[in-house]
Amino acid sequence: MLEQDKTADSGQQDKLMAAIDLGSNSFHIVVARVADGELKPIDVMSEKVQLGAGLDANSYLSEEAQQRGLECLSRFAQRVSELPRSAIRVVATNALREAKNRTEFITRAQRVMGTPIEVIAGREEARLVYLGVAHTLADDNDRRLVIDIGGGSTEFIIGSRFEPLKLESLHMGCVSYTQRFFADGNISQSAFDSARTAAARELLAIRRDYRRLSWDSTIGSSGTAKAVRQACITLNMGDQITYKGLIAAKERLISFGHTDKIDIEGVKPTRRALLPAGVAILLAIFELLGIETMDYSDGALREGLLYDMAGRLRHEDVRERTIKALKKRYHVDAGHSQRIEASALYLLAQVRQAWGLEEDEFHDMLSWAARTHEIGLTIAHTQFHKHSAYLLQHSDLPGFTNTEQQLLAFLVRGHRRKFPKEEYRLLPESRQCSYRKLCLLLRLAVILHRSRSSARLPAIELRVDDKLLNLRFPTGWLDHYPLTRADLDNEADYLRAIGFELKIQ
C-alpha cells in the first residue's frame, strides 16, 4: 500500500501544494503556497528526462529511460518529503499513455514518490493546460486558442476566461517528430517538409471544427513555444511567434546542417536538438489554422494542476460538474440514484474505520458510482451495467484521470450479478482491496432500492469483520419485503464466491 497522508507540522505547511508533470520530454515540479485565494510559486524544478525517447518500436519503455525517470523522481521526492501526501499530485502524459509497460514504471515510481501517479488522457491534459494558461492572462471575455506542443502530443484548446470550449490532443510532438524526421541529426529542407506534411495530416482532423469556432488570440505554452519564441527574438523577428519568424528560424536551422551545430542565443542546449521538429510542427499549425501571430504564456500543465487542486480544496471540483453532465446526458432517474447514493454512503459511514475506507477519495468515488451506475440504460437494459462501465471507462470525463475512470467503471460494472473478477485483476494492486469493499457497499445499496420506491428505508445496521458482513434489519421488517430478502440471499451466494460471508438478521 502507498504511504498514507502525513500530518503537517504547522498550519503554514498545510497551505503548500506541489504539482509534478511527467512529460514525454521533461519532468517538472512546482511547489506553491495558497495565500488569499492565490497561488504563489515558491520553487520550480525541471529536468530533461526524455521518457518518450525511450519508447521502442513496440511501445515498450526501455530500462534506461525508466532509470532516468526514477532518478529524477528521487530528487523531486526529497523536495516534497515534508508535504502531506494529499497536497501532492503527480500526473503522466503521452509517453506513459503509449507505453505498454507503463504499470511497471508507475509501480516503481510510486515507491520512490510515496504518492499515486496518475496517467491522464489527452483531453484532460488539454483542460489542465488551459487552466494553467488562463490564470496567467487577463480575465476578459476574449476567445483564445491555446496550443501546447509537448514531447509526444500537442494539445489544442479554444476557451474564454477559465472555461475551455473545445479540447483536442493530437499525436505529434517535438520528441516523437525528432525521432521520425531528424533521428540522424541532419537538418535538411526535405526533413522539414516531411515533418510539416505529417503534422498537417494530423491537423486535418480538427481544422474545420476549430476554424468554424474561431478565436481572438493565440497563445503558446511549454518548452517548444518558449524556445521558438526565443529563436524569433534572437533572429530579430520580434517577441511574438509569427509565420515570417518561423520561416526565418527554419532557414537558420537548415544552415546549421546538424542538430549538434545549432547555436541560437537564449535557446537551452538541451532544447536545441528538438527545435527543428518544433518549428516544423508550428509551421503546419500556422498554415492549416490560419494563425498570424502567437504569444507565449508561462502557464502550463503543472500550473493547471495546482489550480485544479486549489479548486478541490474550495469544493469547486470539476469532477462534480462532469458527473452532473453525465446524468443529464443519459437521462438518469435522479430520485432513484440519489436514494442509492444516500444508502451507499450511509453503509460506508458505518464501516469506513473497520475497513480502512476513511480517505475522502472513497466517499467521492462511491458517490459518483451510485449516481452513474444506470447511464448504460440509455443503450439497453440487458447487461446495462456493462454498458455503464464502458461509457465511464472510455468517455472523455473532465477532471478524471485514466485510473479514476477505470476505478469508477469497475464499481459500476460490479454493482450487480457476478463479481467482475477479470476487471478486478486489472485494477492497480494498491487499490484492489479497497475498491472491492466499495463495490460490495454499492451492491447492497442497489439491492435495498430495487423496488425503486421513494419510501424511506428503516435504520439498517452493517457491521464488518474483515470478510464477514453482518446486515441487521429491524425485527420483522424483512418479513414484509420478501423480494429484498430473496435478493439478499442471492447476494450472499455471489459474495461467497469471492470469499466473503454475508449474514442477514
Strand 163-170 versus strand 154-160 pairing type: antiparallel
Q: What whole-number distance in Å separates Cα of residue 302 and Cα of residue 157?
A: 16
pLDDT tens sequence across 30-39: 999 877 667 8
Read out DSSP for 183-204? TTSB--HHHHHHHHHHHHHHHH
Q: What residue type is assigned to position 169 of the chain?
A: S
Structure confidence at residue 109 (pLDDT):
96
Does any domain span residue 373? yes
Q: Does residue 293 sit in the same domain as residue 433?
A: no
Q: Is position 5 within any domain?
A: no
The cell numbers describing 498, all together, are: 469471492
Q: Over 284-322, what HEC string results? A: HHHHHHCCCEEEEECCCHHHHHHHHHHHHHCCCCHHHHH
**Crossing angle for the helix pair 384-394 and 402-413, nearest 10 degrees?**
180
**CATH number of the domain to which 343 belongs:** 1.10.3210.10
pLDDT tens column, 11-69? 444 479 999 999 999 999 999 987 766 788 899 999 999 999 999 999 999 999 999 99
Query: Domain check: are 394 and 417 in the same one?
Result: yes
Give yes or no: residues 348 and 478 share one domain.
Answer: yes
Which residue, of 87, 119, 151, is where some domain finishes?
119
Segment 372-393 mean pLDDT: 95
Asked which of 96, 119, 142 is the last residue of a domain, the reply is: 119
Percent of the chain at pLDDT exceeding 70: 96
Residue type, position 228, single letter: V
> Is 277 found in the same domain as 159?
yes
Nearest to 168 by CA among 197, 211, 134, 217: 211
Phi, psi of 138 (to 5 degrees): -65, 140
Same domain, 106 and 139: no
Pick from 90, 103, 193: which is nearest to 428 by CA?
Answer: 103
Reported confidence tier of residue 3, pLDDT bands at 50, 70, 90 = very low
Residues 111 and 130 in one domain: no
Of 119, 142, 169, the last residue of a domain is 119
Give the residue from 339, 357, 340, 337 showing the smallest Cα distance to 348. 357
Q: What are phi and psi of 295, to 5 degrees?
A: -90, 170
| CATH number for 182 | 3.30.420.150
Are 20 and 47 in contact by the 8 Å Cβ rule? The answer is no
In this prediction, residue 34 carries a pLDDT of 79
Cell digits for 84? 502531506
Neighbours of 263 (CB within 10 A): 9
Domain interval for residue 396? 317-504
Does some domain include residue 404? yes
CA distance 324 to 371: 9
Task: Please provide the average confidence, as pLDDT, over all residues in the chain.
Answer: 92
Query: How many structural domains is the chain composed of?
Result: 3
Has residue 439 got a pLDDT over 90? yes
Q: Are residues 136 and 268 in the same domain?
A: yes
Q: Could you tell me if 262 and 211 lie in one domain?
A: yes
Q: Cα–chain-centroid distance for residue 1?
A: 21
SS percent in the chain: helix, strand, coil, step 5: 55, 15, 30
Give the whole-angstrom CA distance, residue 367 versus residue 387.
Answer: 19
* 97 and 148 inside one domain: no
User: Is 210 a domain residue?
Assistant: yes
Confidence of residue 9 (pLDDT cuts 50, 70, 90): very low
Is residue 126 helix, strand or coil? helix
Helix (H) or strand (E) holding 20: strand 16-22
Residues whose CB is less than 8 angstroms from the CB of residue 261 and which lie 6 or more positions away in sequence, other chains included? none
How confident is the model over 352-367, as pLDDT tens digits? 999 999 999 999 999 9
For residue 305, tell me if it sits in a domain.
Answer: no
Q: Could you tell me if residue 312 is inside a domain? A: no
* CATH label of the domain that carries residue 38: 3.30.420.40
The answer to whether residue 411 sits within a structural domain is yes
Task: Quote the cell numbers at residue 478.
Answer: 424483512
Q: Please, which pLDDT band fits residue 318 given cuts at 50, 70 and 90?
A: confident
Indicate if 174 and 291 belong to the same structural domain: yes
My answer on whether 84 and 145 are in the same domain is: no
Judge whether 171 lies within some domain. yes
Task: Indicate the pTM of the whole model.
Answer: 0.80
User: Is 184 found in the same domain as 218?
Assistant: yes
Instruction: Compute the C-alpha angle 38/42/44, nearest 5°.
Output: 115
- The position carrying cell 461509457 is 391
